[in-house]
Chains A and B, each alone.
Chain A
Amino acid sequence: DSGVTQTPKHLITATGQRVTLRCSPRSGDLSVYWYQQSLDQGLQFLIQYYNGEERAKGNILERFSAQQFPDLHSELNLSSLELGDSALYFCASSVQGDNEQFFGPGTRLTVL
């Protein structure tokens, strides 16, 4: 158990819909990262937050947005969903300046 929690574990929805994925980092970690992993693909970095502020942006679509709240939990919002958005979405957290990221169990999103 990494100490990072993600909800829900599974999500099935339809094209065009909007969903919110939630992540709670390890206690004390200020940095939160979101990744997308499609079938047989590597981990694609989406976005990073540090202590509530956006720190880095990767290949995140305009239909996707994220935020980190004062209690440091983070949410990833995916809208106008398409079939191709079906993937595993991981959240990770780390101590700023540390080399190790701790990953949550992921949310498996299926868009039908």
Chain B
Amino acid sequence: GQSLEQPSEVTAVEGAIVQINCTYQTSGFYGLSWYQQHDGGAPTFLSYNALDGLEETGRFSSFLSRSDSYGYLLLQELQMKDSASYFCAVWGSQGNLIFGKGTKLSVKP
């Protein structure tokens, strides 16, 4: 089966950098995705990593190490609007996404 572990909560201040870690166990690996969800809103796609290394998209970056079954999402120059839940997800063998329980990020002024 598949499982993902990520911290339940993280707090940081505006302008800072925060890293949200995700470790996964999966019988077959097809990629690690990250989604953002504001309270009461729909999840929105942030990034996808299939190969080892860092992918950068503006203030957000995502890293993957397949040998360690580990990835992280890095958020730089934090803004108040970044307060949300962040989910890592792996692709299952049937082509569906398996989500972690999410990390609630609170950005303080």
Contacts and interface: CB of A to CB of B under 8 A. Distances in A.
| Contact residues of A: prevailing secondary structure | strand
Given A56-B92, A99-B33, A99-B48, A106 B97 contact: no
Nearest to B48: A99
Contacts of B44: 2, 103
B43 to A, nearest CB: 5
Given A99-B31, A99-B33, A105 B99 contact: no
Contact of A45 (B43, B50, B87, B99): B99
Contact of A43 (B45, B50, B94, B99): B99
A58 interface: yes
A104 B44 CA distance: 10
B77 to A, nearest CB: 24
Interface in B28-80: 31, 33, 41-45, 48, 50
Given A2-B42, A103-B44, A42 B94 contact: no
Given A42-B101, A43-B87, A48 B95 contact: yes
Contacts, number: 56
Contacts of B48: 99-100
| Contact residues of B: prevailing secondary structure | loop
Interface residues of B, number: 21
B11 interface: no
Given A42-B99, A99-B31, A100-B48, A56 B42 contact: no
- Give me the 6 closest cross-chain CB pairs, A-B, nearest first: A56-B94, A103-B42, A42-B101, A99-B48, A43-B99, A56-B96
8 contacts: A43-B99, A56-B94, A99-B45, A99-B48, A99-B50, A100-B45, A101-B45, A104-B42
Given A42-B99, A43-B99, A90-B43, 15 more contacts: A2-B42, A2-B44, A35-B99, A42-B100, A45-B96, A45-B98, A45-B99, A48-B96, A55-B95, A56-B94, A99-B31, A100-B33, A101-B45, A103-B43, A105-B42
